[in-house]
Amino acid sequence: MLGKAHSHSLRSGRFSAPGQIYMVTTRLSNGSRMFTNWRLGRLVVNELRLVHDQDIGHSLAWVVMPDHLHWLFELRVGTLDRVLQRVKSRSAITLNSATGNSGRVWQTGYQDIAVRHDESLKHFARYIVANPLRARLVKSVRDYPLWDCKWV
């Protein structure tokens, strides 16, 4: 369903607004599968929770896959670009510190879908939460440690 990340230049002129709900996908750089180590994935989860706790964005569903992140959230403050830049930047610093690495962690850009309020948010949430099942990482989503959903 989702392909390559777009560069920032492809989104020039894109409008993002508080109150809008987005489904975002962003990938690790260089084909990394860093999040097969779920403890490293939890560092990204901490950044998502911080965005939520600081009322910058309201998380509805997310999953941290071995090589990418899916996140459904309502933008509360600022722009979509700024929120994604914050999550990716802060998590990259933490991840590099935890692994003893340096340099790029995330691919430039991301994919996003602006979800209309009349669309089924649960449909998008189910897509996100079912990612580990489709990837055959687990037989039950309950066995996957890196996801959350407002409706579950």
In tens, the pLDDT along 70-96 reads 999 999 999 999 999 999 999 999 999
The answer to whether 22 and 112 have CB atoms below 8 angstroms apart is yes
In sequence order, which residues have a C-beta less than 8 Å from that of residue 17 and are 6 or more positions away? 75
Three-state SS at 53: helix
Domains of the chain: residue spans and CATH: 15-149 (3.30.70.1290)
In sequence order, which residues have a C-beta less than 8 Å from that of residue 100 and are 6 or more positions away? none
Q: What is the pLDDT of residue 3?
A: 41
Q: Is the pLDDT of residue 4 over 60?
A: no
Q: What is the pLDDT of residue 33?
A: 97
More confident residue, 31 or 120: 31
Q: What is the pLDDT of residue 14?
A: 63
Confidence band (pLDDT; 50, 70, 90) for 116?
A: confident
Q: What is the pLDDT of residue 10?
A: 41
Using left for φ > 0, alpha for ψ between -120 and 50, and beta otherwise, residue 85 falls in alpha
Q: What is the pLDDT of residue 6?
A: 44
pTM, rounded to two decimals: 0.88
The answer to whether 16 and 81 have CB atoms below 8 angstroms apart is yes
Q: Is the pLDDT of residue 1 over 70?
A: no
